[in-house]
Structure 1
Amino acid sequence: MFRDITAFQKVYETRSITRAAKELYVTQPTVSIQIKKLEKELGVQLFKRNGNKQLVPTENANRFYRDSQLVLNSWENSLNHLVKKHKSNRIKCVIGASPTTASHVLPPLMQSLKRYLDYFDFQLVTGDSEKILEEIIKREIDFGIIEKPIVTHEIEQISFATDEMVLAGDSDNPEWIVGKPGSTQREYTDKYFNEHHLRPTKIIKVNDNDLIIKLISRNIGKAIISKRSITNSLLPYQQLTNDFCNEFYLINPKLPNSNEIQKLIQLVKTLLPQLRF
């Protein structure tokens, strides 16, 4: 309910579902569903569209906006009271992420989780997918967001997004940039080499995705890389076959370290498919 009210307030303030979704780091359909859900629960229409397709609040929306501010303020005051009372019981939560998911998934996820900073001490760590898995098994990390499927009876995993790999850079460039062994970038690069029977002689080995992009932007080499990584750049790229589509996974121990961590993981499972990244 509180998330629906927050969505309503953003739409009311911005007069736009698109802008509200962007500020909340969720998808437009998610906000639309939240508004429709509120309207159904309240039994009233909250917004109309004018000739310019701009959302116009109804009188019911104006009244509910004022009331909802009081409700959320009261809720925040209650939370603050509980936090002060139980300040010594803060819970440590370590979240691991592989390089690509750390860049694209963690920022919007933490935007959604920041309201829980009064209860949890979050620690974010990065590493390749195998390293994150290893640390979860050792109970050093509570849950992880990685780019490779895993097979082990100790871990639960769910896929929540697809990541398209592309060939970025000038296709006529003879130089290739490859990631470190074990990385997703290196795995798909080797796959491309094998499928096209390539044995490049000019290779630059790089262990950082951001550096790969900077090199390509200076016309130094080409690379197989996540399309998400170059979305906001002007780098040329070629689409590849469906075999070069990668999945993002949430992984966690089947038996989390505490009930609080288990509840947080369940929350993250509902948040991840809704995130805009």
Structure 2
Amino acid sequence: MKLKQLEVFVAVADHKSFSRAAEALYLTQPTVSVYISSLEKELNAKLFVRNTKEIDVTEQGMKLYQYAREMLILQNRITELFASDSGKAKPRLVVAASTVPSRYLLPDILAGYKEKYPSGQLELRESDSARVIEDVANHVVDVGFTGTLIENKSCRYLPFYEDELVVIMPNTDRYRAILEQEKGLEWICREPLLMREEGSGTRKEAEKQLKLSGIDVGGLSIAASVESTETIKRSVKNGIGITIISSLAVREEIAAGSVLAFSMGKNRSTRKLYLVYNNSYALSRQAENLVKVVRELYPGCGAV
């Protein structure tokens, strides 16, 4: 068994695709297939279930995945340890982030990281908060940024930013009247509501805040569940419904007056955004450096 076989196997498992893994590794798809076939033959195990759209890792494959991932991480750290200053070795830092931190905070964080640590490679994966935490717990990625906290014994969370959730609605006479007249949130139950998809940190926190305000989440008129924040914003502007969203994601629209913002309570309805990493493994040097950058940009990082 060769490390290259394991590298290809992990890439296919991460990307759930032979073609996308081939692109990531700068190999041809037939070459990737040969590596996987030879590994399956050597281990006498079926590692993937091939479907029409994507592939899934089998139970045997998941057992191998954990060990293979650890071996590749160790290889990376050995390379890093003995790398010369010539710049030939470029260790890779894999970062996962949910939508809000990925789009509205990470550009500045990663720019600060690249400015201080120009060597090395960065890979950013965007998904929902639940998947980010799952990938951190499974050591698929080095560091994650998420909009909610899901208890997991493998994860350590460092709160670094406080985000406010607001209700946004079309800028029409009807909603301007609601903005002026309504004090509580009960009126939301009468409106078509657009929500982020299940697993989204924004959705989890929105439901939590509604419950704290005495709103029965089961009684809401949810018109649609949407994965894209941008699609939700456009839908609200077009009058399809209202939504609960991060103020970070909609600050430009609020400033321009294309939507109206309604506070979610007398006290600002805030949630913390977290930097999360796996506390069962030592952080790589690159991951440690990223944590340092976050702490410098957000001095309260880690404070509870």
| TM-score when normalising by structure 1 | 0.62
Q: Which runs of 5+ in 2 are unaligned?
A: 1-82, 179-189
Distance 1:177 1:266 in 2: 34
Judging changes above 3 Å, is the alpha-carbon distance between structure 1 residues 251 and 201 closer, same or farther for their aligned structure 2 residues? Answer: closer
Q: State whether residues 147 and 274 of structure 2, in contact with CA within 8 Å, keep that contact through their aligned partners in structure 1.
A: yes
Judging changes above 3 Å, is the alpha-carbon distance between structure 1 residues 220 and 237 closer, same or farther for their aligned structure 2 residues? Answer: same
Tell me what 2:203 maps to.
Answer: 186
Distance 1:212 1:120 in 2: 36
What's the CA shift string for 1:1-60, capped at 9, x where partnerless? xxxxxxxxxxxxxxxxxxxxxxxxxxxxxxxxxxxxxxxxxxxxxxxxxxxxxxxxxxxx
Asked if 1:231 is matched to 2:251, the reply is yes
SS of aligned partner of 1:247: strand
SS of aligned partner of 1:88: coil
Distance 1:148 1:177 in 2: 19
Asked if 1:103 is matched to 2:96, the reply is no
Q: Which runs of 4+ in 1 moved over 6 A?
A: none
Asked if 1:256 is matched to 2:256, the reply is no
Letter in 2 for 1:256: A
Tell me what 1:196 maps to.
Answer: 215
Q: State whether residues 188 and 244 of structure 1, in contact with CA within 8 Å, keep that contact through their aligned partners in structure 2.
A: no
Distance 2:102 2:221 in 1: 32
Q: State whether residues 139 and 257 of structure 1, in contact with CA within 8 Å, keep that contact through their aligned partners in structure 2.
A: no
Shift in Å, 1:201:
4.1
Distance 2:224 2:289 in 1: 41
Judging changes above 3 Å, is the alpha-carbon distance between structure 1 residues 243 and 152 closer, same or farther for their aligned structure 2 residues? Answer: farther
Judging changes above 3 Å, is the alpha-carbon distance between structure 1 residues 196 and 269 closer, same or farther for their aligned structure 2 residues? Answer: same
Asked if 1:218 is matched to 2:238, the reply is yes
Shift in Å, 1:223:
0.5
Shift in Å, 1:137:
2.0
Judging changes above 3 Å, is the alpha-carbon distance between structure 1 residues 175 and 192 closer, same or farther for their aligned structure 2 residues? Answer: farther
Q: State whether residues 168 and 223 of structure 1, in contact with CA within 8 Å, keep that contact through their aligned partners in structure 2.
A: yes
What's the CA shift string for 1:83-117, capped at 9, x where partnerless? 99432211100111111111111111122122256
Q: 1:245 aligns with which of 263, 267, 270?
A: 270
> Aligned ranges for residues 1-277 of structure 1 at < 5 Å?
85-116=85-116, 118-170=118-170, 171=175, 174-191=191-208, 194=211, 195-197=214-216, 199-201=219-221, 203-233=223-253, 234=257, 235-241=259-265, 242=267, 244-254=269-279, 255-258=281-284, 260-273=285-298
Aligned residues: 192
Q: State whether residues 137 and 253 of structure 1, in contact with CA within 8 Å, keep that contact through their aligned partners in structure 2.
A: yes
